[in-house]
Amino acid sequence: MPVGLSFWTFQALSYLFDVYQGEDIDSTLAEFALYMAFFPVTISGPVCRMPDMLPQFRAEEITRWSDISHGLRRVAVGVLMMQLARLMGQGILAGDGINSGFDRTTQWTGLDVWCLAFGYGLQLFFDFAGYSHIAIGVAQALGFTVPENFARPFASTSPSMFWTRWHMSLSFWIRDYVFFPIMQMRREVWWRNLALLISMVLFGIWHKATILFLLWGAYHGVLLVLHRVIESLERKYDWTPPEKAWNVLSWAGTMCLMNLGWIFFRSNSLATARAMYSAIVSPAAYSTHLLTGSLYLLVSSLAGGYAITLLTIDILRSDSVTEGHSQSALIELLINWQWFWLAPAYALALLFVLIVTWSHGTSTAQMMYGNF
């Protein structure tokens, strides 16, 4: 099939749906062709919509240097993230990564399955969020703003929050053009929940028309419905849990449930998925591990490194001195001299990843979402 077929089909469909629903879109044929062939997003999104893009196509403003600079920085971040995804797939040692854990292993312990589930979630995130950074950065350097695709999904405290932060342009597309129209056919609560389940099943089948992706979509549909039920019970009985403790528990539970779903997404067969889920629920399967220690080290290191990076970003974006509170001397130094240490830190990180990945072969990094 042609590269990017599903993404520019989504864009064309959204145009038709918007026109049908009465949106004031008076684009010319040339503008529609530009919308369909806007090269930064044609391969794998983010999915754009004509009402957002048309005013930008017609704008006569000159692209600012700050937009170009910020766009190129996002491209640089995306390149590093995609290389990190490649590192996770290959492993620190050749053939000792997430890919071999799924493809070459026939037995797993409970610890192995958790490692692969969390590792694949990170791998997919680094790959697709990295690609999205590149696409959004290129568009920004050209003077255009396209939709964001990820917003710290691993900080989510509920399945609903996760799907408003992961692959956002497609999630919102499914919400607006599939879920809402189906939901509005009836007013009953059960129908709304069924519409949510149907939407997520279609979401899964969009990735690939197999039983595994159907189950993946159904799994997340059930999680979303259960979250709605829990929220309704909290309102019904006026129950307010302790905020801090509940947030921690909600985050931990959400991360476990969301990452377990990747087993359906990544497994090579239904029998493989069944074996991996069986290992998770078997207490005897936690006595040892079969995957190598280097893979456990890689997954935990990148997860911890990503968390530290987000914390550092929050610090750098804060003011050096907030009202009534002085930052520590170290934090002020990091903020005031960030452009002197950020570039070398980035270069060293990218160089290290490239050396490790290139030592396994010279093949170019693969964009994982190109498979769907």
Cis bond upstream, residue 40 (ω within 30): no
Q: State the pLDDT at residue 292.
A: 87
How wide is the angle at C-alpha 184 spanned by C-alphas 32 and 204, nearest 5°? Answer: 65
| Segments in 37-188 forming alpha helices (H) | 50-58, 65-90, 98-103, 110-141, 159-163, 168-174, 180-183
pLDDT > 70 in the chain, percent: 91
Mean pLDDT is lowest, of 125-139, 184-198, 301-315, for 301-315
**Tens digits of residue pLDDT in 215-243:** 999 999 999 999 999 888 888 888 877 88
Confidence label for 154 from pLDDT (cuts 50, 70 and 90): very high
Contact present, 197 and 214 (Cβ < 8 Å)? no
- What lies within 8 Å, CB to CB, of 72 at 6+ separation is 137, 141
> In this structure, are residues 275 and 267 in contact, taking their beta carbons and an 8 Å threshold?
no
pLDDT for the residue numbered 6 = 83
Tell me which of 271 and 24 has the higher pLDDT.
271
Name which of 11, 52, 58 is nearest 31 in CA terms.
58
Whole-number pLDDT of residue 23: 85
User: 133 an active-site residue?
Assistant: no
Contacts (Cβ under 8 Å, ≥6 apart) of 361: 94
Q: Cβ distance 77 to 309 under 8 Å?
A: no
pLDDT digits (tens, 9 = 90+) for 63-119: 899 999 999 999 999 999 999 999 998 888 877 889 889 987 778 899 999 999 999
By three-state DSSP, how is residue 266 classified?
A: helix
Confirm if 228 and 176 have CB atoms less than 8 A apart. no
Would the pLDDT of 209 be above 60? yes
pLDDT score of 363 more than 60: no
Q: If pLDDT is split at 50, 70 and 90, which confidence band does 320 have?
A: very low
Under the banding of pLDDT at 50, 70 and 90, the label for residue 212 is very high
Answer yes or no: are the C-beta atoms of 88 and 97 closer than 8 Å. yes
Catalytic pick from 207, 220, 289, 325?
207
Q: Give Cβ neighbours of residue 189 (< 8 Å, ≥ 6 apart).
A: 232
Q: Give the tens place of pLDDT for each residue, 326-353.
A: 556 766 766 666 667 778 888 888 888 8
The candidate with the shortest Cα–Cα distance to 164, out of 258, 236, 256, is 258
Predicted confidence at residue 337, as pLDDT, reads: 66
pTM of the model: 0.90
Q: What's the alpha-carbon Rg for the chain, to the nearest Å?
A: 22
Q: Residues 177-202: what's their mean pLDDT? A: 94
